[in-house]
């Protein structure tokens, strides 16, 4: 059986064959182009070398120092007052005036107290007279005591004889009664004298007590009178006058404040990293000096024992250097440069060479190497501020980084372009 195809159908088959042949040829040509195209060699990454400034270290013995802010103070301040409720008569001193120990700084009204002293002085004299009279009376009573006893014994003997005579009816009753009355009177005087001799020591004791009270009252009144003169307890400047003439004194209220000459000192806050060394120097008797911005010299005297609220270090107290005068103004803020004893193997590096306060970077084969260091202090010569550090890894001739690199890490490649020296 034969299949007859129409002409249109045969035309469509031919067109599809041509399309397929064309697509195949295109694919083959694309593969040939890819296979025969030139290939570029891959680009190798190049590590960047950071340009930096370096310095060569040379450990040596140097005197560390550091700056601190503080205040001029005094460790001996007196607030002068009086417990007398009287008026202020006069204030003969002014703020800032230098006074001597014992000098009157406030004079209070002493009119009432002067009269009181005179009254009590008279009372004391009266008590003394009473005591002297009692003692004199006792001496007299003791001297006449024997006489009264003899009279008493004689009267009793006479009475006994007259009683015998009366019993024998040799005398009248009236005569016996007279003798009995005389004996009774003598006996009464004798008993009174004996009682007086026994009581006079008590009267003397009472008189002595009265005199003691009078003397104590007079002494207190004299002391109150003396307190009307408020005196300086030591040599030094007057810091403040807080009263005026004519004002009523309130007991216990401060009238004048003053400080002692020789008590002037400088209080400085010391960072924790220095406080241990300062304590060691104090214990060893090693002198630590401070020079203030107004040219005053001080020597470390003692360290505080507590950290005040809001502070990070302890307070150090510096006394004026031997021979220096108290020339500061109490309460004024001062900046001081504290110089410590010399220490060995120190390296002075610029601020930008120290990272996070505890390391520097040595440069070995143009790569950074983190090196831990101990910060010892600071130094400044000819206005060149440096930080003193120490590390056993820093030896003479080492090169360290003198530039602040934000991303500095060990192994980073650098290119030295200058020496900080």
Specify the pLDDT at position 256: 94
Specify the pLDDT at position 5: 47
Question: Is residue 3 over pLDDT 50?
Answer: no
Q: Which of 235, 243, 267 lies closest to 335 in space, CA to CA?
A: 267
Specify the pLDDT at position 176: 86
Here the tokens at position 239 are 């810091």
Secondary structure class of 16 (helix, strand, coil):
helix
Question: Is residue 32 over pLDDT 70?
Answer: no
What's the mean pLDDT in 177-206?
Answer: 90
* Bridge-based pairing state of the strands 104-108 and 88-90: antiparallel
What's the mean pLDDT in 9-24?
Answer: 60
What's the mean pLDDT in 109-134?
Answer: 92
Query: For 18-32, 295-309, 395-409, which range has the lowest pLDDT when averaged over its residues?
Result: 18-32
239 versus 262: which is more confidently predicted?
Answer: 239
Question: Is residue 31 over pLDDT 90?
Answer: no
Model confidence at 148, in pLDDT bands (50, 70, 90)? confident
Query: For 1-15, 179-193, 206-220, 372-386, which range has the lowest pLDDT when averaged over its residues?
Result: 1-15
Q: What is the rounded CA–CA span in Å between residue 306 and residue 198?
A: 70
Question: Is residue 195 over pLDDT 80?
Answer: yes
For 33, the enclosing helix (H) or strand (E) is helix 7-36
341 versus 382: which is more confidently predicted?
Answer: 341
Model confidence at 24, in pLDDT bands (50, 70, 90)? low
Q: What is the Rg, in whole angstroms, of the alpha carbon atoms belonging to the chain?
A: 56
Taking only the tens place, the pLDDT of each residue in 156-187 is 998 899 998 888 888 889 998 898 999 899 89
Specify the pLDDT at position 407: 86
Specify the pLDDT at position 345: 93
What's the mean pLDDT in 219-224?
Answer: 91
Question: Is residue 13 over pLDDT 70?
Answer: no
Secondary structure class of 117 (helix, strand, coil):
helix
Percent of residues, the chain, with pLDDT higher than 90: 43
Specify the pLDDT at position 40: 53
Specify the pLDDT at position 194: 87
Model confidence at 1, in pLDDT bands (50, 70, 90)? very low
Question: Is residue 41 over pLDDT 80?
Answer: no
What's the mean pLDDT in 55-64?
Answer: 92
Average pLDDT of the chain?
A: 85
For 96-131, letters b (16+ CB in 10 Å) and e give eeebeeeeebbebbbeebeebbeebbebbeebbebb
Q: What is the rounded CA–CA span in Å between residue 80 and residue 239?
A: 11
Specify the pLDDT at position 260: 85
Here the tokens at position 257 are 């404040």
Specify the pLDDT at position 359: 93
For 22-61, letters b (16+ CB in 10 Å) and e give eeeeeeeeeeeeeeeeeeeeeeeeeeeeeebbbbebebee
Model confidence at 147, in pLDDT bands (50, 70, 90)? confident
Model confidence at 259, in pLDDT bands (50, 70, 90)? confident
Taking only the tens place, the pLDDT of each residue in 302-334 is 988 776 665 667 889 998 877 665 556 778 888
Specify the pLDDT at position 331: 80
Can you give the pTM of this predicted structure?
A: 0.58
Question: Is residue 230 over pLDDT 90?
Answer: yes
């Amino acid at each position: 059986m034969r299949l007859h195809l129409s002409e249109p159908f045969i035309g469509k088959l031919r067109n599809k064959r041509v399309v397929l042949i064309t697509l195949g040829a295109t694919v083959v040509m694309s593969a040939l182009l890819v296979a025969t195209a030139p290939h570029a060699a891959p680009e190798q990454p190049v590590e960047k070398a950071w340009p930096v400034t370096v310095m060569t270290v040379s450990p040596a013995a140097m005197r560390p120092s550091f700056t601190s802010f503080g205040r001029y103070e005094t460790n001996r301040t007196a607030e002068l007052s009086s417990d007398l409720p009287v008026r202020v008569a006069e204030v003969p001193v002014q703020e800032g005036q230098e006074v001597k120990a014992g000098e009157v700084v406030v004079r209070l009204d002493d009119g009432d107290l002067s009269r009181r002293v005179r009254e009590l002085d008279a009372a004391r004299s009266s008590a003394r007279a009473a005591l002297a009279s009692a003692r004199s009376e006792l001496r007299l009573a003791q001297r006449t005591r024997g006489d009264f006893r003899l009279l008493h014994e004689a009267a009793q003997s006479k009475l006994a004889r007259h009683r015998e005579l009366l019993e024998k009816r040799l005398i009248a009753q009236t005569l016996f009664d007279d003798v009995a009355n005389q004996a009774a009177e003598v006996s009464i005087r004798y008993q009174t004298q004996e009682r007086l001799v026994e009581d006079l020591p008590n009267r003397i004791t009472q008189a002595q007590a009265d005199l003691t009270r009078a003397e104590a009252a007079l002494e207190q009144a004299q002391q109150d009178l003396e307190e009307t003169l408020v005196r300086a307890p030591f040599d030094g400047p007057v810091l403040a006058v807080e009263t005026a003439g004519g004002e009523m004194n309130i007991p216990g209220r401060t009238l004048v404040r003053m400080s002692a000459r020789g008590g002037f000192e400088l209080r400085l806050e010391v960072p924790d990293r220095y406080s241990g060394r300062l304590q060691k120097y104090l214990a060893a008797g090693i002198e630590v000096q401070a020079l203030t911005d107004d040219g005053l010299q001080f020597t470390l005297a003692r360290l505080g024992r507590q950290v005040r609220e809001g502070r990070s270090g302890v307070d150090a107290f510096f006394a004026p250097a031997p021979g220096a005068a108290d020339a500061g103004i109490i309460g004024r803020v001062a900046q001081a440069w504290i110089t410590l004893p010399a220490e060995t193997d120190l390296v002075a590096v610029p601020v930008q060479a120290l990272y996070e306060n505890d390391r520097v970077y040595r440069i070995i084969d143009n790569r950074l190497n983190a090196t831990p260091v101990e910060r010892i202090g600071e130094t400044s010569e000819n206005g060149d501020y440096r930080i003193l550090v120490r590390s056993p890894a820093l030896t003479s001739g080492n090169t360290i980084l003198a530039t602040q690199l934000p991303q500095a890490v060990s192994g980073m490649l650098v290119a030295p372009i200058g020496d900080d020296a």
